[in-house]
Amino acid sequence: MTEPGATTPLTAADSNVGTSTQKTEPEGGALAGMTVVVTGAMTGILEKLSRNQMNKLIERAGGRSSSNVSKKTTLVVAGDGAGAKRAKAETLGIRLVTPDEFATLIADFVD
């Protein structure tokens, strides 16, 4: 016997009721599937952004930000004064772009 107003316990099949099955990460975007490292001083429209803001921008554009260059890195944004990270990217054959080239690439995601 069930009391009026009582709810029945959820079964395993019901456990996903009311939950979203969508991914929270963007599936597309200019940087989809890319791991991006930012180094050196930014210029142009990126000049006023902090590193934290740059990381969020990369994620909005579908990429993953990283602070270190590795063989998994796919893009390095190298501004003025970029040193060891730029050199390592060159050694590993990783694509390098200037801050202005990067700004063009992610223009749709800049506030």
At 36-64, the pLDDT tens digits run 999 999 999 999 999 999 999 999 999 99
Phi and psi at 66, nearest 5°, equal -140, 155
Residue 8 is assigned to a structural domain of this protein = no
Q: Mention every residue, 6+ apart, whose C-beta is less than 8 A from residue 70.
A: 92
Instruction: Give the pLDDT confidence of 64-92 residue by residue, as tens digits.
Output: 999 999 999 999 999 999 999 999 999 99
Question: Is residue 29 included in any domain, yes or no?
Answer: no
- Residue 59: Cβ-neighbour burial (10 angstroms; 0-12, 13-18, 19+): middle
Number of domains in the chain: 1
Tell me whether residue 52 is in a domain.
yes
pTM: 0.74
Give the structural domain span for 87.
39-109
